[in-house]
Amino acid sequence: MKRVTVTGGTGLIGRRLVDALRDRGDDVTVLSRGAPGTVRWADPVSEPPPPEALAGRDGVVHLLGENVAQRWTAAARGRIRESRELGTRHMVEGLSRLADDERPPAIVSMSAIGYYGARGDEAVDESEPAGDDFLAEVVQAWEAEARKAEALGVRVAISRTGVVLAAGGGALEKMLPPFKLGVGGPVAGGRQYVPWVHLDDVVGALLFLLDQGEGTYNVTAPEPVTNRELSKALGRALRRPAVAPVPALAVRALYGEMAWIVTTGVRAVPKRLLEDGYSFARPDLDDALRAAVA
């Protein structure tokens, strides 16, 4: 049994991770801003977590971050960056305040495929350099703060997570309504790659990295697909047509600058996860979508 602290444990990924940890017999402490049954971390942007939530733990999984799927006003940009950069900085500061024999020996820090920027058709593994857009800059700062824990003797694993397919949240929450009505289809031509991953494998990879990972990992399915292929597969899962194209202009009108995430793509592949022996639970897109929309 391990004693594990999880931040962001009340979100889509966090809830499933906490359940998976408890199912395997681990003792879990959830840090939140005040949700029932959790330990309060009032303001991750301005202060470290309470020491009693970290001391004596065997590991930390740090998932906190403002939702990216919103219009990127100046205020939203600030929240997106600060929640990741400053929240992680304060987590590491909290680790640094503990005595060596009380400090968790491992931390898994969430990150994102947005690190690479828009990369077209080329396969992108963890050795590729960062992009230069807003999200890429945010992710670089986010990861740099997590890596500072290495100086404390902590094993650091970073999860660059792709587009999560799951019931009740993530990318599908916005995709499902038009597809259920039979008016869904490829976005902005549909040629851009989508580095998808089912929630089961996000959770599975986080457990894998908590137990043995070190360094940076793309957490995406082994076979990324284009937006057009994803649309067709979602139509099959729902038994609905998926041929109504969605122009890029329409997406930009709805989401503003954030539409860049949908209209561009990256063909990210999980080279290190596969090399280190992780076995995907849902590597097939049709199976993943059927499970997600069931």
The predicted model gives 149-165 an average pLDDT of 97
H or E element at residue 63: none
The predicted model gives 142-157 an average pLDDT of 98
- Whole-angstrom Cα distance, residue 41 to residue 7? 9
pTM (2 decimals)?
0.96
CB 53 within 8 A of CB 28: no
> 43: which 2 tokens?
């303001």
Alpha carbons within 13 angstroms on the beta-carbon side of residue 56 total 5
* Of the ranges 31-35, 243-247, 279-283, the best mean pLDDT one: 279-283
Mean pLDDT lowest for which of 6-10, 75-79, 118-122, 221-225? Answer: 118-122
Counting residues of the chain whose pLDDT is more than 70, the rounded percentage is: 99
Which residue type is seen at 275? E
> Which domains does the chain carry?
3-293 (3.40.50.720)
Q: What's the pLDDT tens digit per position in 31-88?
A: 999 899 999 999 999 999 999 999 999 999 999 999 998 889 999 999 999 999 999 9
Phi-psi region of 50 (alpha: psi -120 to 50; beta: other; left: phi over 0): beta
